[in-house]
C-alpha cells in the first residue's frame, strides 16, 4: 500500500532532456523500492502475529476472567492486531509482484488497515485512563462493575471512531493493475495532519500525562504487587510508541522534505522502509508482552504441553486472582492504619 500526493509535480532535475529539441525524456533518478525485502518481512510478521494473537485470544477466552477490565482491553487489542495482520499478505503480494486484487479489495483492505491502527491506539488510551482513575483518582463511585461498563463502552467506541476516521481514506483509495494507493490531494493535506494529530499525537500526550501521575502515585506504595498490571499496560503502550512513532514522523518528513539528489532520496526511502517494517511488526508484540505476567506463563505452558492438571489449576484461579485496583485500595488502607499507629 502506498500513499500518494496527487498534487505533487515531477521534478525537472530527475530527467535528462537530451541534446535535440525533440528528445525523449530519460529518467536519471529512480530510488530503490526494496519490494522483495518488504514482502518477505510482511509474510514473516503475518505468520508470527497469527500464531501469537490466536494463542492469546484462546488463552484469554479460556483461562482469564474477562470481567476484569485489563483482560477485556487486551482481548480487544488482540482482535485489532489480527485485523491488521490479515491485510499483510495482500501488501506482500503487491511488493513482491503487483496489485492483482482489484479496486474493491483495495478499499476493504485499506479500511481494515486503518481500523486496526486507529482502534489499537484508542484502546491503549482508554487502558491508560482506566489505570489513571483506578490508581490516582481512586473514587469510591468507580466500582469494578462501573469500570467494566466503561471498558465495554470504550471498546465499542474504538470501533465506531476508527471506522468513521478511515472512511475518507477508503473512498480516496484506488486499486489498479500496478498498486493499491490512497491518494491525497493538496486540499486533503490539512485534514490528514489534523487526523494524525487527533488520532496519534493527542492520545500520546494523554498517555504520557496519565502515566506520569500513575508512576508518581505508585512510588508511595510499598507492595511488590503494585507493578504487575501496570507494568504490562505500560510496556504495551511503550511498544506501540516505539513501533509506530518513527513511521508517523517519517510520513511527515517525506511530505515536507523533497530532496533532489538521488542518494538522498535513496537514503530516505531506505529509512522509511525500515520504519514501516518496524511499525507493522507491532502486531506481534502484544502477545509477547502479555507473557510478563506469571499467570500468563502458566497458560502458555498448558497450551504448549497440553497439561490437564495445569489447566484445571488455572480454571480454579480464574475468579480468585485479585484485581489491581483492589490491591491498590488494600495498600492504601494499610498505609492509613500505619500512619494512625505512628
Q: Domains of the chain (ranges plus CATH)?
A: 2-6+34-291 (1.20.1070.10)
Output the DSSP codes for 17-77.
Answer: --SSTTPPPEE-------HHHHHHHHHHHHHHHHHHHHHHHHHHHHHS-TTSHHHHHHHHH
Q: What is the pLDDT of residue 337?
A: 36
Burial of 77 (0-12, 13-18, 19+ CB in 10 A): buried
- Measured at the alpha carbon of residue 182, what is the angle toward residues 277 and 278, in degrees to the nearest 5? 10
Q: What is the pLDDT of residue 236?
A: 84
User: How far is it, in rounded angstroms, from Cα 105 to Cα 176?
Assistant: 11
| 133, three cell numbers | 482513575
Q: What is the pLDDT of residue 31?
A: 59
**What spatial distance separates the first Cα and last Cα of the chain, rounded to whole Å?**
65
Do residues 218 and 166 lie in contact, with contact meaning Cβ atoms separated by under 8 Å? no
Whole-model pTM: value is: 0.78
Strand ordering across the sheet containing 2-5: 2-5, 180-184, 173-175
9/203: higher pLDDT: 203
Q: What is the pLDDT of residue 11?
A: 41
Q: How far is CA 105 from CA 91, 115, 156, 162, 205, in A?
A: 11, 15, 25, 19, 35
On the question of pLDDT at 19 being above 60, the answer is: no
- Measured at the alpha carbon of residue 122, what is the angle toward residues 119 and 128, in degrees to the nearest 5? 140
Q: What is the pLDDT of residue 332?
A: 45
User: How far is it, in rounded angstroms, from Cα 68 to Cα 50?
Assistant: 25
Q: What is the pLDDT of residue 330?
A: 46
Do residues 151 and 130 lie in contact, with contact meaning Cβ atoms separated by under 8 Å? yes
User: How far is it, in rounded angstroms, from Cα 37 to Cα 19?
Assistant: 38
For the ranges 6-15, 54-63, 113-122, which has the lowest average pLDDT? 6-15
Amino acid at each position: 500500500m502506498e500513499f500518494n500526493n496527487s498534487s505533487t509535480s515531477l521534478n525537472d532535475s530527475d530527467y535528462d532532456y537530451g541534446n535535440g529539441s525533440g528528445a525523449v525524456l530519460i529518467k536519471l533518478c529512480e530510488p530503490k523500492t526494496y519490494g522483495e525485502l518488504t514482502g518477505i518481512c510482511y509474510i514473516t510478521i503475518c505468520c508470527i502475529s497469527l500464531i501469537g494473537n490466536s494463542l492469546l485470544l484462546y488463552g484469554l477466552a479460556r483461562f482469564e476472567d474477562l470481567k476484569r477490565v485489563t483482560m477485556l482491553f487486551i482481548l480487544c487489542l488482540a482482535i485489532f492486531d489480527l485485523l491488521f495482520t490479515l491485510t499483510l499478505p495482500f501488501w506482500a503480494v503487491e511488493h513482491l509482484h503487483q496489485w492483482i486484487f482489484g479496486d474493491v479489495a483495495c478499499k476493504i483492505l485499506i479500511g481494515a488497515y486503518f481500523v486496526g491502527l486507529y482502534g489499537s491506539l484508542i484502546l491503549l488510551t482508554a487502558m491508560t485512563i482506566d489505570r489513571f482513575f483506578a490508581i490516582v483518582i481512586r473514587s469510591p463511585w468507580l466500582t469494578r462493575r462501573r469500570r467494566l461498563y466503561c471498558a465495554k463502552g470504550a471498546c465499542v467506541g474504538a470501533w465506531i471512531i476508527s471506522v468513521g476516521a478511515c472512511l475518507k481514506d477508503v473512498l480516496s483509495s484506488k486499486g489498479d493493475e500496478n498498486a493499491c494507493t490512497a491518494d491525497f490531494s493538496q486540499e486533503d493535506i490539512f485534514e490528514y495532519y489534523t487526523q494524525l494529530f487527533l488520532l496519534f499525537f493527542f492520545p500520546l500526550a494523554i498517555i504520557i500525562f496519565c502515566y506520569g501521575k500513575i508512576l508518581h502515585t505508585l512510588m508511595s506504595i510499598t507492595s511488590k504487587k503494585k507493578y504487575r498490571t501496570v507494568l504490562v499496560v505500560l510496556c504495551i503502550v511503550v511498544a506501540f510508541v516505539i513501533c509506530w512513532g518513527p513511521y508517523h514522523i517519517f510520513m511527515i518528513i517525506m511530505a515536507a522534505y523533497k530532496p533532489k539528489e538521488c542518494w538522498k532520496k535513496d537514503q530516505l526511502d531506505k529509512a522509511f522502509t525500515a520504519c514501516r517494517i518496524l511499525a507493522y511488526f507491532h502486531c506481534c508484540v502484544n502477545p509477547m508482552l502479555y507473557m510478563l505476567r506469571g499467570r500468563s506463563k502458566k497458560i502458555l505452558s498448558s497450551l504448549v504441553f497440553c497439561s490437564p492438571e495445569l489447566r484445571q489449576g488455572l480454571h480454579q484461579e480464574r475468579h480468585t486472582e485479585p484485581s489491581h485496583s483492589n490491591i491498590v485500595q488494600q495498600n492504601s488502607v494499610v498505609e492509613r492504619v500505619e500512619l494512625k499507629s505512628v
